[in-house]
Amino acid sequence: MFSDPQHSISQFDLQSGNHVADLGAGVGTLSVIIAKAVGEAGKVYAIEIQKPLLEKLKNHAKEARVHNVEALWGDIERENGTHLKAGTVDAAVASNVLFQIEHKEGFVEEAKRILKPGGRLLLIEWSESFGGMGPHKDHVISEKSARALFEQAGFEFVKSIEAGEHHYGLIFKKK
């Protein structure tokens, strides 16, 4: 299995009514899966910095017939960059973005700021550079380094999930 977003999200145990931030949402593939997992009572804040992708994200959600996705322009690397209030979301998902982020500590702090106390974060990241896919080998963030980054910021490691052949998945909880 290369990577199965549906399987990854199913292991995150989202609940009906949860409010979730999809950090670095891209065209919204995970946003739609998350929206279905949290149901109509829930909400997904799909945050993306690349403005051209926001329109694609909105169209993707519309085509999937999910109405609980809000596409937002935001910078996930800086404080208040998501434009969400502190303690807004029950959970956050960051998939294949950490290797691209220049200010990793700022990203972790912003994720922590928007999560409610006890809120959870699912990090899915490339475990290797694979045949020209994914990040350059110099940009791959090891699972050990990712875990240390979040734990140093005060997150508690909960568990690893199966995220595919060339990815790892980590769940953290805000203390």
Residues 66 and 44: their CA atoms lie apart, in Å, by 10
90 phi and psi angles, rounded to 5 deg: -80, -30
Question: Which residues face 21 on adjacent strands?
Answer: 45, 92
pLDDT for 25 = 97
Residues 145 and 133: their CA atoms lie apart, in Å, by 21
Lookup: tokens for 118? 């006890």
Question: Which residues face 123 on adjacent strands?
Answer: 94, 170
pLDDT for 160 = 97
pLDDT above 90 as % of the chain: 87
Tens-place pLDDT, residues 31-87:
999 999 999 999 999 999 999 999 999 999 999 999 999 999 999 999 999 999 999
Residue 130 has pLDDT above 80, yes or no: no
75-79, 91-95, 128-132: which range is least confident on average? 128-132
CB atoms within 10 A of CB 143: 15
Residue 21 has pLDDT above 90, yes or no: yes
Burial (CB < 10 A; 0-12, 13-18, 19+), residue 117, is exposed
Residue 5 has pLDDT above 70, yes or no: yes
pLDDT for 169 = 97
CA distances to 104, 112, 119, 128, 129 from 20, rounded to whole Å, are: 20, 13, 10, 27, 29
pLDDT above 70 as % of the chain: 97
How many residues would you count in the chain? 175
pLDDT for 164 = 87
Lookup: tokens for 79? 């404080």
The angle, 0 to 180 degrees and rounded to 10, between the axes of the packed helices 51-63 and 29-38 is: 40
What are the structural domains, with CATH classification, of the chain? 5-174 (3.40.50.150)
- Residue whose structure tokens are 């595919």: 164
Q: Please give the helix or strand (H or E) that residue 104 lies within, else none.
A: helix 104-114
Lookup: tokens for 55? 């329109």
Of 83-87, 140-144, 162-166, give the range with the top mean pLDDT: 83-87
pLDDT for 2 = 59
With a CB cutoff of 8 Å and minimum separation 6, the contacts of 35 are 42, 44, 61, 64, 66, 68, 69
Mean pLDDT of the chain: 94
Left (φ > 0), alpha (ψ -120 to 50) or beta: where does 73 sit?
A: beta
